[in-house]
Amino acid sequence: MKQTGFTLIEVMISLFIGGLVLGGVMFTYIGMKVTTKDTMTIGELQESGRLAINIMQRDIEQIGFWGTYYEDSFTAGNTSTLPAPTNDCFEGLNNGSFPDLASSSNFRTIYAKTADDTEELNCINDPIKGTDILQLKFLQGNQLTVEAGTNETQINQNYFIAEQEQAQFVRGVVDQSTLNTNATVWPYSHHTYYITEQTYTVNNQSLTVPALM
């Protein structure tokens, strides 16, 4: 029985065609892998952005709300305040954690700038140059209950006591007996947001990424 096989030329042509097909498959696979990686990276950035916006949105929505205090500014005649804390964040006139009643400028509850130095607002030491810094002062959360047996104020926390024409910035547990009948008490916060770089080790590799602080 006569048997025939492939000639050398046929084998070489087959290998060449197979190489082209394999190269096309590998090219497609690598392209899809890169695209998938880029898509995942973009998705992570979008999710991080949404989280950052959600965190800041809660604070920004509270700006300008001072409970039952209805005056449009804080002055020596209508406000009792606290001294600036150690390492307070501030820049310019009347921009610390608490109103400066001796200042001729209104109390700044919101302030924004672009980082152009390694130290900003007297409290930030490592911002990424060219990124934004946002400073917010606001009443956080709901009105607190200050009654005998149900006092929601705590030690080492800042509070705002509001009346129609009088304001007080206080720290620590608020004594109910010191409050007028129509006074309300609110948690008070001063937040400063900025971008810095942080380094993590993942799979024995060092990665430096921007982080919201």
Asked whether residue 56 is assigned to any structural domain, the reply reads: no
47 in a structural domain: no
Query: pLDDT value at position 78?
Result: 94
Residue 72 belongs to a domain:
yes
In Å, how far are 7, 11, 96, 212 from 18, measured between CA atoms? 16, 10, 72, 51
For residue 83, tell me if it sits in a domain: yes
pLDDT of residue 111: 93
Residue 34 lies in a domain: no
Report if residue 136 sits inside a domain: yes
The total number of structural domains in the chain stands at: 1
Per-residue pLDDT at 2: 60
Distances (CA, A) of 128 to 95, 145, 209, 213: 22, 41, 11, 11
User: Is 54 a member of any domain?
Assistant: no
Cα–chain-centroid distance for residue 205?
A: 27
Provide CB contacts within 8 A for 139, sequence distance 6+.
62, 65, 66, 67, 160, 186, 187, 188, 189
Contact 192, 134 (CB under 8 A): yes
Q: Residue 100 is part of which domain span?
A: 62-213
Q: For the chain, 213 residues long, give each residue's pLDDT as a single digit of tens.
A: 566 666 778 778 878 888 888 878 887 877 777 777 767 766 776 777 787 788 888 888 888 899 999 998 999 999 999 999 888 998 989 999 999 999 889 999 999 999 988 888 899 988 999 999 999 999 988 899 988 888 899 999 999 999 999 999 999 999 998 888 889 999 999 999 998 888 877 677 787 878 888
- Does residue 86 lie within any of the structural domains? yes
- By the 8 A CB rule, do 213 and 196 touch? yes
pTM: 0.75
Model pLDDT, residue 209: 78
